[in-house]
Amino acid sequence: MDAKRLQILEAAVPCFGRYGYARTSMDLLAKAAGMSRPALYQHFKSKEHLFQAMVECAFDVVDRRAAAASRSGGTLADRLYGVLAARLDLVAGPETEFRDEVLREAAAIAGPIVTSARERLVSAVEDVLTSAAPPRLGAELPARDVARLLVDALTGIELARGTVDELRGRLRQLVELTVRGLGAPA
């Protein structure tokens, strides 16, 4: 990706988070990126295309951070938390007043990208679980099922109200409860 497109996408994240999809205009996005609206249209033909590219770029970052967390060498709980927090940090930042709207719009506008990213996250969580314990854990649940449950619960945490620290705390509690419930070594 060229530097100018990346600059635009990085400027778009706080704009959509602060104003929501509907209230974010190409004029606002151009101003945030430090360029004119016609210059912005040279890189993205519409707000929808820019939004799709932003979602895809954001999930690429999540994938890299999740992969690094899974290889971190910490405890099972720490690695699970790190993988899941990579996604939580995407949506729970300080500029997320319209988080619910942006998440709905991402599903509507970039549905296949969101679905694919979710499945990659489930696979990353499953990999952490299976690397720490046999494929069937203490609760007799397949690691894939546990991974799906954790990602589904993460979705609920993402939509909850609270500060970033409160949401991270809830995620930490979820991971600790899961690890203890599985009877897997922490």
Looking from the CA of 79 toward its CB, the CA atoms found within 13 Å total 22
Lowest mean pLDDT among 25-39, 67-81, 134-148, 151-165: 134-148
Measured between alpha carbons, how far is 103 from 81 in angstroms, rounded to an integer?
21
What pLDDT is recorded for position 94? 58
What mean pLDDT value characterizes the chain? 89
What pLDDT is recorded for position 139? 52
Arch. (CATH architecture) of 48-182? Orthogonal Bundle (1.10)
Looking from the CA of 32 toward its CB, the CA atoms found within 13 Å total 21
- Residue 78 in tokens: 């720490």
The percent of residues above 70 in pLDDT, for the chain, comes to: 91
3-state secondary structure at position 136: strand
Question: Which one is predicted more confidently, 48 or 94?
Answer: 48
For the stretch 51-69, pLDDT in tens is 999 999 989 999 999 999 9
For the stretch 86-138, pLDDT in tens is 999 887 765 566 777 888 889 899 999 999 999 999 999 999 999 886 544 55
